[in-house]
């Protein structure tokens, strides 16, 4: 048996519906987001989970709770899995930032690996902290299924790091809709992407709520 890491983005929040930057902000899930978390638990509670890791932010903890309760496994909280810090852009829309912080926005959109939102983090900084958690998982568990509940930017940066994709292209190459699942298996030749953006665990009425 190999090691499989299941990367689950949290369920819907008000910010994911409106598209505002929500990195270190700490909203909870909407009622629909809570339903997404329950739908994931209902679908995946029969999978034998070796461990569950989770971001410390409320929206991730609320997402992991139904499945961790169902399988009676306490989530391991790691700060390295938190969302990118968007600094001065937190809570603002892309349109507002583009209009009022244009130079920094243009630098960030052109090369986010090394350019940060004003007062925030670069993709390289997010990769450094998030991949520390992935390395911990790899060193602790040789085989089994490990669930990691995190955030849109963090998940895409982890995937780029594992799959050899330029970090500066994380927004162009991968997406992670609310409550979507990516699965990585670690085999003989290293990490392989088995599933990307899977939302089949959601009922149709929730699957239509894609958010940002």
Q: For the beta carbon of residue 202, count every other beta carbon within 10 angstroms.
A: 23
User: Do residues 127 and 161 lie in contact, with contact meaning Cβ atoms separated by under 8 Å?
Assistant: yes
**Where do the DSSP E strands lie in 49-150?**
49-54, 76-77, 144-150
H/E run at residue 191: strand 190-198
* pLDDT (mean) for 128-148: 98
* pLDDT (mean) for 100-120: 97
* pLDDT (mean) for 93-111: 96
Say what the pLDDT of residue 78 is.
Answer: 98
Domain edges within the chain: 3-86+122-207
Joined tokens for residue 21? 């930057």
User: What pTM does this model have?
Assistant: 0.97
Cα dihedral sign for 110, 22, 131, 200? negative
Confidence at 1, pLDDT banded by 50, 70, 90: confident
User: Do residues 202 and 44 lie in contact, with contact meaning Cβ atoms separated by under 8 Å?
Assistant: no
pLDDT digits (tens, 9 = 90+) for 195-207: 999 999 999 999 9
Confidence at 143, pLDDT banded by 50, 70, 90: very high
Looking at CATH, the fold of the domain delimited by 3-86+122-207 is given as Rossmann fold (3.40.50)
Residue 212, pLDDT above cutoff 90: no
Joined tokens for residue 31? 């009622």
Q: Classify strands 181-187 and 144-150 as parallel, antiparallel or unpaired.
A: unpaired
Mean pLDDT of the chain: 97
* pLDDT (mean) for 53-73: 98
């Amino acid at each position: 048996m190999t090691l499989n890491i299941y990367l689950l983005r949290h369920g819907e929040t008000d910010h994911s519906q409106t598209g505002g930057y929500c990195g270190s902000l700490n909203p909870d899930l909407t009622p629909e987001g809570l339903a997404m978390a329950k739908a994931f638990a209902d679908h995946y509670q029969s999978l034998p989970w070796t461990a569950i890791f989770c971001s410390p932010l409320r929206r991730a903890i609320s997402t992991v709770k139904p499945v961790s309760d169902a399988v009676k496994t306490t989530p391991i909280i790691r700060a390295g899995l938190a969302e990118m810090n968007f600094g001065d852009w937190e809570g603002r829309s892309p349109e507002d930032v583009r209009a009022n912080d244009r130079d920094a926005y243009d630098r960030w959109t052109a090369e986010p690996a090394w350019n940060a939102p004003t007062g925030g983090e670069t993709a390289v900084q997010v990769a450094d902290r998030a991949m520390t958690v992935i390395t911990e998982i790899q060193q602790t568990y040789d085989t089994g299924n490990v669930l990691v509940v995190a955030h849109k930017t963090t998940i895409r940066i982890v995937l780029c790091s594992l799959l050899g994709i330029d970090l500066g292209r994380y927004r162009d190459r991968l997406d992670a809709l609310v409550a979507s699942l990516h699965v990585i298996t670690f085999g003989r030749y290293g990490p392989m992407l088995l599933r990307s953006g899977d939302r089949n665990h959601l009922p149709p009425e929730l699957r239509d709520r894609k958010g940002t």
